[in-house]
A = this chain, B = another copy of it.
Amino acid sequence: MTIPAPLTGVVPPVCTPLTPDREVDVPSLIRLVDHLVAGGVDGLFVLGSSSEAAYLTDAHRRLVVSTVVDHVGGQLPVLAGAIDMTTPRVLDHVAQVTAADADAVVVTAPFYTSTHPAEIARHFRLIAARSSVPVFAYDLPASVHTKLDAHLLLELAADGVLAGLKDSSGDLAGFRAVVTGARTHTGITGFSVLTGSELVVDSALALGADGAVPGLANVDPQGYVHLDRLCREGDWERGRAAQERLCALFGMVKVGGARMGGSSSALGAFKAALYLRGVISCPVTAEPQVPLSEGEMERVGKYLAAAGLL
Contact = CB atoms under 8 A, between A and B. Distances in A.
A244 interface: yes
A94 to B, nearest CB: 12
A123 interface: yes
A230 interface: no
A85 interface: yes
Contacts of A264: 116, 119
B83 A112 contact: yes
A262 interface: yes
A138 B170 CA distance: 20
A56 interface: yes
A87 B119 contact: no
Contacts of A172: 170, 172, 197, 199-200, 203
Interface hub of A57, A172, A243 (most chain B Cβ within 10 A) = A172
B87 A287 contact: yes
Nearest to A122: B288
A54 B288 contact: no
A54 B261 contact: no
A119 B261 contact: yes
A72 to B, nearest CB: 25
Interface stretch (A173-181, A220-228, A296-304): A173-181
Interface string A100-143: 00000000001111111011101100100000000000000011
A286 B123 CA distance: 11
A310 interface: no
A88 B56 contact: yes
A112 B143 contact: yes
Contacts of A87: 55, 286-288
B57 A240 contact: no
Given A116-B264, A119-B264, A206-B236, 17 more contacts: A54-B89, A54-B113, A55-B86, A56-B88, A86-B286, A86-B288, A112-B112, A113-B263, A114-B143, A116-B259, A116-B290, A119-B260, A119-B288, A126-B288, A170-B171, A173-B200, A176-B247
23 contacts: A22-B88, A54-B86, A54-B113, A56-B88, A57-B89, A58-B58, A86-B287, A86-B288, A111-B111, A112-B143, A113-B263, A114-B261, A116-B259, A119-B260, A119-B261, A119-B264, A119-B290, A120-B288, A122-B287, A123-B288, A172-B197, A203-B203, A203-B207
